[in-house]
Amino acid sequence: MKRLPFLLTLCITSLAGPFLLTISELRANGQAVAVKAVVFETDIEPSAVEPIGNGKFLLVADDKQSDLFIVDAETGAIAGHRLSIAKATSTNPKWEAMAKDGKDYYVLGTKCSCLYRFSLKNEAETDPVKIDVEMVSGPIAVKGEIMGAAARVEGLAVWVNDNKEKELVFGIRDTPGKALLRVARAKISDGELSLLEFFAFCAKKPDGQPVEWHISSLEYVQALDGFLVITSTEDDRTNHFYGNKLWFVSRKNLNTSEPSSCTGTFKDATKLMIEGKVFDSTMKAEGLAIIDDARSRVALVFDNDYKKTRQTAKLAVFTLSDLIEIINQPYSHH
C-alpha cells in the first residue's frame, strides 16, 4: 500500500452565503486535515449523493427517511419537493448507497437488501419544483454469500468491465469492523442480483484509533479509469468519529492483482491502493459522487448522526483536479 507524504487539501468551489463553514479541528498527531463545507439547510442525515442534470442540483438520500431530497449544490439548501420511491413500502428503507448510469439512478435500501431503479422527469430543469420521479422498477433483491448476516452495502458505483459488460459495484461494510475491506460486483439486471467477489484491501488503522475503517462510499471515475473509495470511522458505543480517508485504485492495477491468503477469493489490492491522509476527525463522510463531467466537479456529503451528536450534516463540492492533488501523485490514463 502506497503511503504518500502530503497534506490533504480540498479546494471548495464558490461556496458562499450563510451556510459557509470552515472546519479547523486537527488530530492531535497532525494526521487529520480539515475541509471546508456548507451546512445542510435542514437536519437530514445524508448517506448518498448523485447529480441531477448538470450538477446545479444534487439528489441526496437520507438513511433515516424514505424520501429523497433535491439540494442546491452551492448552498446546501433544500430545493423543490421531496421525491418518493413509491414502491419502497417501508417507512424507512434505510438508504445507504446510490449510483447513476445515464438517466438511470439506483438506490439501495439495507433493510430489504434490495435496489430500486428510477429516472427523473424534467431532470434538466432549472426550476427544481418541476423535477419529479418518473419511473421506478424494483425491488431488485441483492443476494450472495458475500453479504452474510453481519454485512451491508455502503457504497455503489457503475462501471463497464473488460468484457464491455455494465456492472454495479458494491462497497461492503462488515459489522463489527474488520481491517479487510471488501468490494463486490454484479451484472446490471432488473432481476435478482447475485454478488460476486471483486477486490479487497487491508486498511491498517492509525495508532490510537480505537475503531477500524469501514467503506462508506465508492465511485468509478472514468477520467482516471479507476475507483475512488472513501473510508470512515464510527464508534457505535460512544458515537465518536475518528476521521475519514480517501483511496484510489486503477483498472490497470486491478487487472494485475490476484487473490491472496489475506483476501480469500477477492483480488488483493492492498499494495495497489493509493491512500490519502486522514481528514476531519469530527465528521463522518458518507457519500461521494462525480456531479459534473464537463467541469469535473465532485460532491462529498457528511452524515454526522445529528440526532445523537447534535452535529449538522455537511456538503463539500470541489474539482476532480483537486482530488488528484489529494492523492498527490501524477496520474494519466492512456
Q: What is the pLDDT of residue 243?
A: 86
Read off the pTM: 0.85
What sign does the dihedral 286-53-134-118 (CA atoms) show? Answer: negative
Going by C-alpha positions, the residue among 240, 176, 248 that lies closest to residue 208 is 240
Region of 304 (left: φ > 0; alpha: ψ -120 to 50; beta: rest) is: alpha
pLDDT in tens, the chain (334 residues): 554 333 233 322 222 222 222 222 222 233 444 456 788 866 788 999 999 998 999 999 998 888 999 999 988 899 988 998 876 666 678 999 999 999 999 999 888 788 999 999 999 889 999 999 988 888 898 887 776 667 889 999 999 999 999 999 999 988 777 889 999 999 998 888 989 999 999 998 888 888 899 999 999 998 889 999 999 998 878 888 888 889 999 999 999 999 999 999 999 999 999 888 788 888 899 999 998 877 678 899 999 887 787 788 899 888 877 766 655 543 334 3
DSSP of 268-329, one letter per residue? E-TTT-EE---B-TT--EEEEEEEETTTTEEEEEE---HHHH-PPPEEEEEEHHHHHHHHTS
Angle, alpha carbons 175-179-184 (nearest 5°) = 70
Pairwise CA distance, residues 257 & 255, whole Å: 6
Q: Which of 223, 201, 228 is nearest to 287 (CA)?
A: 228
pLDDT of residue 239: 81
| CB-CB contact of 323 with 292 (8 Å) | no
Is residue 8 within 8 A of residue 281, CB to CB? The reply is no
Cell output for 236? 457505535
